[in-house]
Structure 1
């Protein structure tokens, strides 16, 4: 971010407005600042709106120095003179009758001005703002967005976003919310982005775009990267290795994947350099040791084995070499994945001698970061367990960012501030400097799930999920941000006297997917989809009955947990029969069921309080909350049924079988209610359509709606009546 040494002033003038008594006075504000500073201009636009809403008007003027009459002063000063304020931090203070907003860079000043605007929006005046000094808790606050072209996942869930993701209006709105929520890195992911960005000098056949098409792509990327920088956001592109475009493979006689030939190596190195040189606002390049950098031979991939050293050598000789050959520096993001090795990665980063700290992103609890804040497993180890070699010993030239993947809720709104606060508190360490947040199988662009009707007042999917982004961004910047800020967002959005009931309801409702992902251990993307109660593919943590993607009662019973503080159904029942107490600090399935019921009751109570509000978009949010409440009840009763059914199966207690049947029948009524609510405003949507390896077993995961799985909910009752553990199709 560009540092500024200019002094920006906000001056106050008073006048007697029209239509007021002689005693009353209104203030006319003169905002003086360097109008060439884009991030601060963005912040001042929010201040202007807040003041106008409060009944004040402003003028703006350029004032670089020395206005003695200034009443509100926004100062950007060199860091060495304000060493107590970190980069992207700010201070709001008063000096006699003057208000001071002080920062050491333009992004910090932007955040400070937006803080002032927010406080005014919450009812304060410029004279009564809360004084504070705020520094970013984490320096990397990144969003992960997959691009629909050259996409890692395939199928309609990706392809239907293509037009929206080529529209700069979408990106302007997306970047606006990023800046407002204090995100500072936009990472854009696809298999091979380079052929969409440049016509390679020495490999012009790498893409078949015409000169006009290439010019259109160039304008798109240039504008996108510039808009990001103007909002204090660093744009990164991230690719998978080893991959080339289909055009390149055809024209130069190589394979699209895992081709380590000299021509592919040279092309990769040169195209990285060219992209950096042609896009001066591009801030970073990310690299991935992808799935197809195989370490085994198969009929489909008969290429030689690639050891961890081979993979890192490839990255060193292509991506890293391309970065170092460019005419300016960019930051490096080195993803840590299953085929990585911390020692080999350290070697490459050490040898690179890059001027900036390298980012090393690690998936927190693999693809399901919205689970427990306990780091139970990473994607780095073949065992699926933690691999601390990335941070032990403490690295000197790179830092870790946790990737919080969301493959668990795409349709229903979500927001749980205390989970995020706990996560940050528990996982901040000397080797950690940030988080990435985002999905692999979902792009927050076109909202394809919601029926078009009068209460759909948002245009894009991320706008419907506004609370998700606000909570993650603001709390990554400052975990001490009070709930009052988020409550005020609800109050202002829906003209409520207080937003507390809404935030309370969301906090309770949003526990359901966290609790399921913590209880039902999973790994990669499609091993769990919490809002759908689906597990299309096995995570090798219990039986997979191959009957449906839906998590059956058998699968729930025979599955291990992710959170080590949770007790599985099998272990609990076995322990209970030998009078073994649940250890202190551990949560049994029945205790978890009680927590889910309490969550559900909180949601129902708050929704009833809010129902009289006539706002139709608020009613839509309330419907999501109700859906979570019934999903919580469904999960709670299914846990109880699992305990009862397992008890019957082990000890032939018929009363336990009848109890299980009763509870699963109650589950059916909960699921029917879920289907009734969601069918009123959501379409059936593509889920893993176009990405199936078990055609017959998982065909019911191609497209998703809650009503599609009603037969599977009914099947659970039959399984309990039958009594046998393994169901025969």
Structure 2
């Protein structure tokens, strides 16, 4: 085992780097080695070094090689010896990671002669991005379709996949309702294609390009789709699957033989025509209403699995866990569903390349709540998948984020605790990170006209991706690495930013732990919005008082007041509303203090970084005041004194004041933003589904009126 040494600890060096002539030796026939050498060359040139085309006359030789006997998969070693720096990888991925680690050190200002020995290896095998494609999305929304031009640009994908490998993600999964007719013209069902030959070829070149770029970077690729869906053209041509096409998704399963054959053959054809595509993900989800758990599993085996096994090569499989509650209503208990699914996976043995990756939604669609495992999609999960320990599959947690898209986020200890609590067993393979309601492509947020250092949306959230990716690879990666990136970007002005983000953006997890949520629309944390009845709207004081909690350690306002009224109390292990309010106030005020002295004049990028800390902090102070007001209001309503009502009014007025600070900070910086959570919400007054904190100020102020009444 390689010791978990700090990998080229990121710091800012104030040194003069002597320019050297460098030759990079690598395996010419390997696309991954060529990619690593190219990225290292960019870093060397960026520091003023000359990269030689021939070996003769070098000052420094950098040797890139794979050493499987010494290293495990994805591990790397950096060994400086005199004029030679050797980078070994346990495989092609490890070689890329080691080379990029060396490149990072150079960008931090390290002279070639001062490069330190380093090593690292992965903690988790599967470190994936869930990426919803904007065509035939699961949700139909302008917030998603607006990304189509960007997502059809291979320059965008080159940058996005560069980000992934730099942060040591190793899987990109592309999700949409029915991907097959975008990728192939089905050989026996050409009528299913809606495209001209020119259009079909454009789609082919896009998918081939994405998979080629991913392969070059050592990334595995999957397409993941929902279940019995076809193209609208196929449905019309054969009079089948009459609603099983975009934009419908809550529809009955169509098990007719023509649909079975069409989908099975499409699966096989896609895998044969795209050799750089590693695998397919299947889902017992929408498009299968009215079918029992056993019928759904048999359909999967007969169609998707059979189609994959008919391909001319061995491929990889993602198997989503069935939504227990939905399947139970179709004719089986949750335990029966789990037993059927486990048995089906075990019967496949080793027919797929590597373990089957079993995807489970962590705390439904809101993983950024509590790191405690409370539920999956549909509710509670038994231990059927875990006991006895599986032999041919591994669990991969789906860490969905439907809670913050505009504001930057970064709480490294939350991710470390997540891994510590949920990824220690051998049957856990890793994580997906991604969203259903958000696509990180078009920057539809930025309002200022001053130049910023990003082009696409994912670049704004660099800290989010760096934290998740690097910590999934090695949870022991120290905060100094992430702080070093702030300093590389902003010099001494970045000194306090990691600490400030860790304090302020923890507001999201505290709100999510306090307010129970389920599918994607049921909470939008940065907007303090939740699905209430048929509409998504601001979480008002009445809703906050009575709503259940997500984290069982938290206590709702209603339960807290009722317990105290009966003479009861809570121990120090419980997070009551007053305790939570104090924690929020303490951390958010410290965060505001940490960024108070940062001069952002002339640097719009830094202005956004600072403003997002301030916004999270003001949202946290808003929640603290709102909790105190809610407790006082509930006391008054349940027999308290008139003074309780006055306290409630004063605290809720203070909460509105903090919201006004949020508006003051964000109005100049953020556009009104399309929001998927608003689908069909207030259609006549907000037809474009636009969100901004300023737009819901009246809803926030209504709390004061509620208390006065």
What is the TM-score when the length of structure 2 is the normalising length?
0.90
What displacement does 1:452 show? Answer: 5.2
Q: Which moved more, 1:610-619 or 1:624-633?
A: 610-619
Confirm or deny that 1:688 pairs with 2:676: yes
Question: Which of the residues 634, 637, 641 maps onto 2:625?
Answer: 637
**Cα distance between partner residues in 2 of 1:68 and 1:675:** 57
Query: 1:475 and 1:238, CA in 2 relative to 1: closer, same or farther beyond 3 A?
Result: same
Q: Which residue of 2 aligns with 1:360?
A: 358
Q: How far apart, in 2, do the equivalents of 1:307 and 1:417 lie?
A: 42
Higher RCO (C-alpha 8 Å, min separation 6): 2
- Give the SS at the match of 1:488: helix
Deviation (angstroms), 1:72: 4.5
Select 1:475's aligned residue among 471, 475, 500: 471
1:320 aligns with 2:305: yes
Distance in 1, matches of 2:50 and 2:626, equals: 58
2:388 aligns with one of 389, 393, 410: 393
- Mapped contact 1:367–1:525 kept (Cα < 8 A): yes
In the aligned structure 2, how far is the partner of 1:308 from the partner of 1:264?
19
The aligned counterpart of 1:273 is: 268
Is 1:155 the equivalent of 2:153? no
Q: Tell me how far 1:431 sits from its aligned partner.
A: 1.1
Describe the shift of the 1:201–1:497 C-alpha distance in structure 2 as closer, same or farther (beyond 3 A): same
Deviation at 1:576, TM superposition (A): 2.1
- Secondary structure, in 3 states, of the residue corresponding to 2:597? helix
Is the 2:284–2:321 Cα contact (8 Å) retained in structure 1?
A: yes
Task: Please give the secondary structure, in 2, of the residue aligned with 1:232.
Answer: coil
CA deviations over 1:118-152 (Å, ceiling 9, x no partner): 22333433343343331111111100111111111
Candidates 128, 145, 164, aligned match of 2:114: 128
- 1:431 maps to which residue? 427
Q: For each residue in 1:376-427, what CA deviation from the matched residue of structure 2 results, as whole angstroms up to 9, or x when unmatched?
A: 1111x4xx12333222221111000000000000111111111111111111
Q: Is the 8 A contact 2:59 2:83 kept in 1?
A: no
When residues 422 and 25 of structure 1 are mapped into structure 2, their CA distance, relative to the original with a 3 A threshold, is closer
Choose the corresponding residue for 1:167, options 153, 175, 200: 153
Match of 1:628 among 606, 616, 620: 616
- Specify which of 287, 310, 335 is matched with residue 320 of structure 2: 335
Per-residue CA shift, 1:536-570, capped at 9, x if unaligned? 245xxxxxxx7871101001000111011111111
Alpha-carbon spacing, 1:334–1:582, altered in 2? closer, same or farther (3 Å): same
Judging changes above 3 Å, is the alpha-carbon distance between structure 1 residues 25 and 534 closer, same or farther for their aligned structure 2 residues? Answer: closer
Q: How far 1:465 moved relative to its partner? A: 1.0
Instruction: Using the TM superposition, give the Cα deviation of residue 466 of structure 1 relative to its aligned residue in structure 2, in angstroms.
Output: 1.1
Q: What is the CA–CA distance in structure 2 between the aligned matches of 1:443 and 1:69, rounded to whole Å?
A: 45
1:561 aligns with 2:554: no
Partner of 1:8: none
Is residue 108 from structure 1 mapped to residue 94 from structure 2 by the alignment?
yes
Contact 2:589 2:617 in 1 (8 A): yes
Give the 3 Å change call, closer, same or farther, for CA 610–337 of structure 1 in structure 2.
farther
User: Residue 640 of structure 2 aligns with which residue?
Assistant: 652
> What's the counterpart of residue 710 of structure 1?
697
Q: What is the CA-CA distance between 1:252 and the residue it aligns to?
A: 1.4
CA distance in 2, matches of 1:697, 1:589: 37
CA distance in structure 1 between the aligned counterparts of 2:497 and 2:33, rounded to whole angstroms: 32
Partner of 1:607: 595
Which of 282, 289, 312 is 1:287 aligned to?
A: 282
Distance 1:98 1:213, change over 3 A: closer
Greater alpha carbon shift after TM alignment, 595-604 vs 184-193: 595-604
Give SS of 2:444's match: coil
Structure 1 residue 204 corresponds to structure 2 residue 190 = yes
Contact kept? 1:155, 1:690, Cα under 8 Å: no
Q: Quick check: 1:156–1:690 contact (8 Å CA) kept in 2?
A: no
Deviation of 1:25 (Å): 7.3
Structure 1 position 448 matched with structure 2 position 448: no
CA displacement, residues 190-232 of structure 1 (integer Å, 9 cap, x when unaligned): 0100011111111111112111111111111111100110011
**Correspondence 1:70-109 to 2 at 5 A:** 72-77=62-67, 79=68, 81-82=69-70, 85-94=71-80, 98-109=84-95
Alignment-derived partner of residue 374 in structure 1: 372
Say whether the 8 Å CA contact 1:43–1:114 is kept in structure 2: yes
Root-mean-square deviation (CA, aligned residues, Å) is 2.4
How far apart are residue 55 of structure 1 and its match?
3.7
C-alpha contact 1:32 1:61 (8 A) present in aligned 2: no
| 2:223 aligned residue | 237
SS at 2:73 equivalent: coil
Q: What is the TM-score when the length of structure 1 is the normalising length?
A: 0.88
Map 1:508-587 onto structure 2 (within 5 A). Answer: 508-537=503-532, 549-587=537-575
- Distance (whole Å) between structure 1 residues aligned to residue 118 and residue 452 of structure 2: 38
Instruction: Give the direction of change, closer, same or farther, for the CA distance of 1:351–1:150 in structure 2 (3 Å limit).
Output: same
Equivalent pairs, count: 671
Q: Give the superposition deviation at 1:349.
A: 1.7
C-alpha spacing 1:422/1:310, structure 2 compared with 1 (3 Å): same
> 2:454 aligns to what SS in structure 1?
coil
State whether residues 361 and 401 of structure 1, in contact with CA within 8 Å, keep that contact through their aligned partners in structure 2: yes
Q: Tell me if the contact between 1:590 and 1:640 (Cα under 8 Å) persists in the aligned partners.
A: yes
Name stretches of at least 5 consecutive residues in structure 1 with no aligned partner.
1-19, 295-304, 539-545, 723-729
**3-state SS in 2 of match to 1:447:** coil
Checking the alignment, whether the CA contact within 8 Å between 2:618 and 2:659 is kept in structure 1 is: yes
CA contact (8 A) 1:547 1:697 kept: no
Give me the whole-angstrom Cα distance separating, in 2, the residues matched to 1:627 and 1:69: 50
What's the CA shift string for 1:80-133, capped at 9, x where partnerless? Answer: x22xx2211112235577543222211101100111122233343334334333
Q: Matches of 2:85 and 2:503 in 1, distance apart? A: 39
The answer to whether structure 1 residue 499 and structure 2 residue 494 are counterparts is yes
Structure-1 residue corresponding to 2:30: 37
Q: Return 341-350 or 636-645, whichever deviates more.
A: 341-350
How far residue 156 of structure 1 moved from its aligned partner, in angstroms, is 0.3
SS of 1:389's equivalent in the other structure is coil
In 2: Cα distance, 1:503 partner to 1:42 partner: 31
> CA shift at 1:478, angstroms?
1.1
Aligned match of 2:52: 59
* Greater Cα shift, 396-405 or 696-705: 696-705
Instruction: Summarize deviations over 1:434-454 as a string: whole Å, max 9, x none.
Output: 100000011111111222511
1:594-633 residue CA offsets vs partner (Å, 9 max, x unmatched): 1111221122112212125542210122111111111011
Contact 1:99 1:127 in 2 (8 A): no
Which ranges in structure 2 are unaligned for 5 or more consecutive residues?
A: 1-15, 245-252, 328-336
In structure 2, C-alpha distance between the alignment counterparts of 1:71 and 1:216, rounded to whole Å: 42
Deviations 1:676-709, CA, capped at 9 Å, x for gaps: 21111211122137833x7689979932111111
Distance (whole Å) between structure 2 residues aligned to residue 700 and residue 638 of structure 1 = 30
